[in-house]
Structure 1
């Protein structure tokens, strides 16, 4: 099956059939070539209904989870978006097809450099991959309309709450190191946040000053 047909099949069976309804999300997922963001040798598995391993012991998230998080965050074409945990760059690329501008923070410099190369190869110029402690967000610009965190923490970091615009949405897995609940936080004004639980998920841990410490997630 050609890659374009695989993407269309993925969108139909893994996303639309499971309740993803946002046209912008479905279109972006149908456009971005996931095979360009997986490790060499995994191209034929790019559209499998599962997460896949990437370098540094990390993963590229299951397509459904990527779509669920972006839809839950209500990302629109005028939005400034922050992604924490760029990893392979795939979710940032999907966000880049929808939002005005995306900053994706990655703590591992090698992963960040590879993600930049992949982003350039698919022609997305509105996505910036930066290196930093994702638990501290990116405090160097305006507040963000949407923040998506692709790693699980014990709680939503204070820094990320502070960087969320009024009416902004933050989607993140919180809970134990290896098992979490995906939640959406909406800033309703000042320090008032409304929280909704979305799904049980399994993400790599968010390591950083306001996440897990290295010794807490050691195997």
Structure 2
């Protein structure tokens, strides 16, 4: 029996959103997850303290430094980085299982982590860098969310220029001047990337069957 279109499966992809703190990637990620049931958030491991309202194993896997170092040594992380004195990493097994099952995984990581993902799994990676509309607006957003002290905000602003300098390493770049438009742009990118020929498992066999019937 000839293969049917239903037998064409899709390998999942890794969608990365990166930006300096305050540019809006977390808000964009949340709205994307609410609107697209086909993508799930990658839950990172971190050594930083839990913030008010965060839930273990939902927001992060919270571990101490010895356990984190053990995971790095054992190759259990797809990527890992130190950011503002804390360590973050992506558990390898959960992501790889999701991709094989045709599920997409969303990452909220920085340029260091994105570089490592590109080295380990470039064909599965789709990367987007989110820019703020201005430096002044970035600082305003950091103050408005009221999560960090003035000292921490100053540190994030100082770090922002270095983070932004890596924008050209990403597949796509969007300026987050309007959250709804930014989410729509990310959805358009995701939809197009899902249709890429290289992600269609079984497509070659289907095409051969069509040709054979001609």
- TM-score under structure 2 length normalisation: 0.31
Which is higher, the Rg of structure 1 or of structure 2?
2
RCO higher in structure (CA 8 A, sep ≥6): 2
- TM-score under structure 1 length normalisation: 0.30
More helix by share: 2
More strand by share: 1
